[in-house]
Amino acid sequence: MSDATYEAIAAWSQIIGSILFMAALVWIWIKFIAPAVLASQARKNAELADAEARRDAALKDVEAAKADVASAATDAAAIAARAEGDATRLRERLVAEGRAEGERLIRNAGGELDRGRIAANDELRAELLDTALRIARGDAASLDAGTDKKLIAEVLDTADRGGNA
């Protein structure tokens, strides 16, 4: 065999070796590497989908929390307005009750004052009557019989005319 034949066999053996090496690489790629890459890709896609689902859930939770905060602010404003209205009504009621109590006390004091005046007038009349009777008894003891008859006649005459002097 000649050198040219050996050279051709060497060339063809390198070509066939390269083709077999490439076939082996393709077979290893298809058998081992591609499934691992696809499995890794599927895992990463599942992780991404899970992360997106968690993100969407978190966004919904944030929106719900914002709505709750807005609702709480509205509720707080309503509670404050209700408390202010209640305080106003309570103040007005207490003022009205105080005014009514004060007026009742003034009426009662007026009644007490009237009763006190009446009692004072009655006491004054009684004292005046006692004093007048004492004075009259003292004067009556010093009267003579003629003056006594004259005074009795005048009193009877006044009583007959209806009490006008």
d(CA 132, CA 91): 59
Nearest to 154 by CA among 165, 144, 143, 162: 165
d(CA 67, CA 49): 27
Looking up tokens 């009490």 gives 163
Q: Are 165 and 158 in contact (CB under 8 A)?
A: yes
Confidence of residue 126 (pLDDT cuts 50, 70, 90): confident
What single DSSP character describes residue 15? H
Average pLDDT over residues 47-70: 94
Instruction: Round the average pLDDT of the chain to a whole number and report it.
Output: 89
Amino acid in the structure at residue 142:
S
Task: Tell me, yes or no, if the pTM score tops 0.85.
Answer: no
